[in-house]
Amino acid sequence: MRRLCALPLALVLSCTSLKTMPPDLPCREAAFAMAARTEECTGNLELANKRVDLFFKDYVCIDADVTDPEMNNPAVHPLDWFNCAFAIREMPCELVEEYGNDIDRYLTQSDACTWVIARKDGKNLGAGR
């Protein structure tokens, strides 16, 4: 069984330059934020790991290229790429319970999720329900 290994995002960012981070990090952080929130709200590590597996079964990461000149747009701060993970991490336990294994619903917590995550079936996030 795989152990849930989600470092707090602040710790990861303090150790990793945004320009040298793995381009799929914002996506993976969203998956691990969902798992961490699941474990906190349910106390069930097995369920948290199952949700990560469901995430990577049906979704694909969109690489965030913070070296792209368009990323220098002051309207989009590089940390905004992580807003999906932040929003999921802040979900109340009531929503975690309500959403259950419906990963699409977690990914509606922030518009930033569409920047870093796509459904493998090509449908829009939130359209799979």
Is residue 10 assigned to a domain? no
Q: What is the mean pLDDT of the chain?
A: 82
DSSP E strand stretches across 4-126: 59-61, 117-119
In this prediction, residue 54 carries a pLDDT of 97
Average pLDDT over residues 60-82: 68
Give the structural domain span for 51: 22-119
pLDDT digits 0-9 by tens, 16-33: 455 677 889 999 999 999
- Reported as a pLDDT band with limits 50, 70 and 90, residue 80 is confident
In this prediction, residue 6 carries a pLDDT of 45
pLDDT beyond 50 at 66: yes
* Backbone phi and psi for residue 38, each to the nearest 5 degrees, phi listed first: -60, -45
Counting the structural domains of the chain, the total is 1
Is residue 7 assigned to a domain? no
